[in-house]
Chains A and B, each alone.
Chain A
Amino acid sequence: MELRLSAAIAALAASLAGPAHAGSISSAPVVNFYFGAGTQDACYVRNVGKRPVEVNVVITDAEGLAHTSSTDTCNGAPLAPDAACVVILEHPGGFMACTATTPGSAKSLRGTLETRLNLNIVSAQDLR
C-alpha cells in the first residue's frame, strides 16, 4: 500500500515538475488585395495578466511563411503586465494571419491583427 502511495506521489510530482506546454493565440486570416506602397499588417499583443510574459509574435502568409517585420517590439523582451507590443510588416498583399506564442499559458494574452492601406484599416481579426 505504501509503495503504491509513493508511486502515485512520484507520478504526481513528475507531472507537476514537467515542462510547461507552450500556449498560443492565433488570428483568422485578414485580407488586403492592394499590393505595394502604403499597405502594411500590424499585430498587437497585450499582456492582461499580473506577471511579465515572454511572447513570440509572427505574421504569416497563406502558405505559412513568416515575413520580416519592419517594426518589432514583441520579440526578444518580456511583455510587462498591462503592456502591449506590436509587430508591423510592409504588406505583400493577399491573406495574412498572426500567431502569438508564450512558454506557459496564453490566457493572459489578447491580440489583434490589422491590415492597413495608408494607415486606414482595411480588415482586422482578433487572436484567440
Chain B
Amino acid sequence: MKALVAAAAALALLAAAHPARAGSSTIVSPAIYGGPEADLALCAVRNAGKKPAQVELRIFDEPGTALNLVDATCNGTIQGEATCLVEPGKMFTTRSFVAVGTAYACSATGKVKQLRGAFYMGCCQVGAPSQSYRSTTLR
C-alpha cells in the first residue's frame, strides 16, 4: 500500500514538472531540406479538438539538437516560449533561423489526437518571403 502511494505521488510530481507531457504523446515530422535558399523553419499546430491542449513545439537539426526560437505565437499572441495552452480552433506556431544546406525536423508534444501539425522550410530571414515552402506533416 505504501509503495502504491509513493508511486502515485511520484507520478503526480512528474506530471506537475512537465505539464505539456502529462498524459500526452508526441507527433513528429521527418527531416526535410528546404532548398538552397531556405534559412527559416516554421512549425505550426492547430487544436482541432473541443478542449484546450498544452503543447510543446521543438525544431531539431540533423544531429538532434533542439534549436533556439526566434519567436512563437500562441493563440495569436507573440511570445518567446516553446509551450502554449492552445485553445480549441486556435494555433501555436514557432520560427527558428536555420543554416542553409542542411535538414531539420519538428515535434509537437501534447494531446496529439486533437492536434494537426505541419513543418515548413523556406526563406527569408531578410527580404521577400518564399513563393513556395517545402512542407511536411507531423504524425
Contact = CB atoms under 8 A, between A and B. Distances in A.
Interface of A: 24, 26-34, 60-64, 95, 97, 99, 117, 120-126, 128
Contact of B116 (A28, A33, A34, A122): A28
Given A33-B130, A62-B91, A97-B116, A28 B76 contact: no
Contacts of B21: none
Interface of B is mostly: strand
Contacts of B42: 31
A70 B93 CA distance: 27
Nearest to B120: A31
Contacts of B130: 33, 122
A61 B122 CA distance: 20
Interface of B: 42, 44-46, 48, 73, 75-76, 87-91, 93, 116-118, 120, 122, 129-133, 135, 137-138
Contacts of A27: 46, 116
Nearest to B115: A28
B76 A63 contact: yes
A34 B88 CA distance: 26
7 contacts: A29-B46, A31-B42, A31-B44, A31-B133, A63-B91, A120-B132, A123-B135
B35 to A, nearest CB: 14
Contacts of B122: 31
B92 to A, nearest CB: 9
Nearest to A63: B76
Contacts of A61: 76
A124 B45 contact: no
A62 B76 contact: yes
Contacts of A125: 116, 118, 135, 137
Given A27-B116, A31-B44, A63-B75, A123 B133 contact: yes
Contacts of A24: 48
B116 A128 contact: yes
Contacts of A126: 137
A60 B93 contact: no
B17 to A, nearest CB: 29
Interface centre among A27, A28, A126 (most CB of B within 10 A): A28
